Amino acid sequence: MTASAARNIVRPDMNAPDSPAPKKLRGLRLPKLSMRRKDRQRPKKSRPFSEEIRKLPNLLTLGRIVLIPPVMAFLLMDTPAGNFWAVMLFSVAAITDWLDGYLARKQGLESLLGKLLDPMADKLIVQAVLIVCAELGRIPGWFVVLLLSREIAITGLRTIAASEGLQIDVVQSGKLKTALQLVGIVALILHHRYALDFVFWQTNVDFNVVGIALLSISMVFSLASAFTYFRGFARAVGQRKSGG
Based on the domain organization, do 175 and 148 belong to the same domain? yes
CB of 219 closer than 8 Å to CB of 147? yes
Tell me what pLDDT residue 145 has: 92
> Could you list the residue range(s) of the whole structural domain that residue 129 is in?
55-137
* Rounded Cα gap, residues 57 and 126, in angstroms: 19
Q: Please, which contacts does 172-177 make with residues 24 or more away whose CB atoms are closer than 8 Å?
A: 172/1, 173/1, 173/221, 173/224, 173/225, 173/228, 174/221, 174/222, 174/225, 174/229, 176/218, 176/221, 177/218, 177/221, 177/222, 177/225
Per-residue pLDDT tens listing for the chain (244 residues): 554 554 455 555 555 455 444 444 344 443 333 333 334 444 455 566 566 667 777 888 888 899 999 999 999 999 999 999 999 999 998 888 888 777 777 777 777 677 777 778 888 899 999 999 999 999 999 999 998 898 888 888 878 887 777 777 767 777 788 888 999 999 999 988 887 777 777 888 899 999 999 999 999 988 888 888 888 888 887 777 776 5
> Is residue 238 included in any domain, yes or no?
yes
d(CA 134, CA 179): 21
CA 55 to chain centre: 21
Q: Are residues 164 and 179 in the same domain?
A: yes
Do 153 and 204 reside in the same domain of the chain? Answer: yes
- Per-residue model confidence as pLDDT tens digits over 39-69: 444 445 556 656 666 777 788 888 889 999 9
Number of domains in the chain: 2
Report percent pLDDT > 70 for the chain: 76
Q: How far apart are the first and last CA of the chain?
A: 23
Task: Judge contact between 125 and 95, C-beta under 8 A.
Answer: no
Q: Which of 88, 113, 137 is the last residue of a domain?
A: 137
DSSP percent split of the chain into helix, strand, coil, nearest 5: 65, 5, 25
Residues 186 and 225 in one domain: yes
104, 170: one domain: no
Alpha carbons 115 and 237: distance in angstroms, whole number: 24
pLDDT (tens digit per residue) in 139-155: 999 999 998 898 888 88
**pLDDT, position 118:** 78
123 touches 211 (CB < 8 A): no
Within-domain flag for 15: no
DSSP 200: S
In a domain, 18, yes or no: no
Last residue of a domain, which of 137, 168, 191? 137
Residue 75 is predicted with a pLDDT of: 94
- pTM for the predicted model, two decimal places: 0.70
Q: What is the CATH number of the domain that holds 79?
A: 1.20.120.1760
Beta strands in 118-210 (DSSP E): 166-168, 193-197, 202-206
Co-location of 131 and 152 in the same domain: no
